[in-house]
Structure 1
C-alpha cells in the first residue's frame, strides 16, 4: 500500500476510564540497549513513579537533617512504557501541543 492509499482508522479508548488516575511526581527516561551493530538506541524506557515526602514538623536539628539526607526515599513505580525513538518524538510533540493549547507555553 503506497502513501496515497493510506488507510486511516479511528480509535476509541476503552477500559477503566472512571477510576482516578495515579499521581506521579517522578519521571525517569532511559535509552534501551542499542541493536547489535548500532551505536544508538532505537527504543526508550519511560518510568513514572510517586515518592511521598517525609513528614516533617517544626524545625529540624542538624542530626535530623543528616538522617533525612543519608538514605534515598523510595519511589513507588506506577507505570513503565517502552517507546521507539519516533514514538518518543511524537510523545514530545503531543505534550508540546497540549501545553501550548492549555497554558500558552511550550
Structure 2
C-alpha cells in the first residue's frame, strides 16, 4: 500500500479497462495483434499497442516473432501473466455476475 511501491504502476496496467481485457483475451492461448483487436471490442490499434507494450515491460506478456512464412508476431502470457490473468478473469466474471443488480441500482438512482 506504500505510495512509492513499484507494484502500483503494474497494478494500474493490469486493472485498467484495456489491460484487464487484454489479459483475459490472452488467457486461453497466444494470439496475434489482429486477433486480439477483434476479441477486445472497441480498442484502437494505438491503445492495444500501448497496452501490450506496458504488459510486456511488466513481464506479464511475451512478444514472440514466429519464423514461419509469412513472419508474424504472437503475444502470449508469461507464467506471471498467467497468474495475474486468472485473478483478472475472476474479477471480470464477478462483475458480469453482479451486472443485473448494478443496472437495477443505476436505473433507480
What is the TM-score of this pair, normalised by structure 1? 0.29
Q: Which has the higher helix share?
A: 2
Compare relative contact order (CA 8 Å, sep 6+) and give the higher one, 1 or 2. Answer: 2
What is the TM-score of this pair, normalised by structure 2? 0.28
Q: Which has the higher strand share?
A: 1
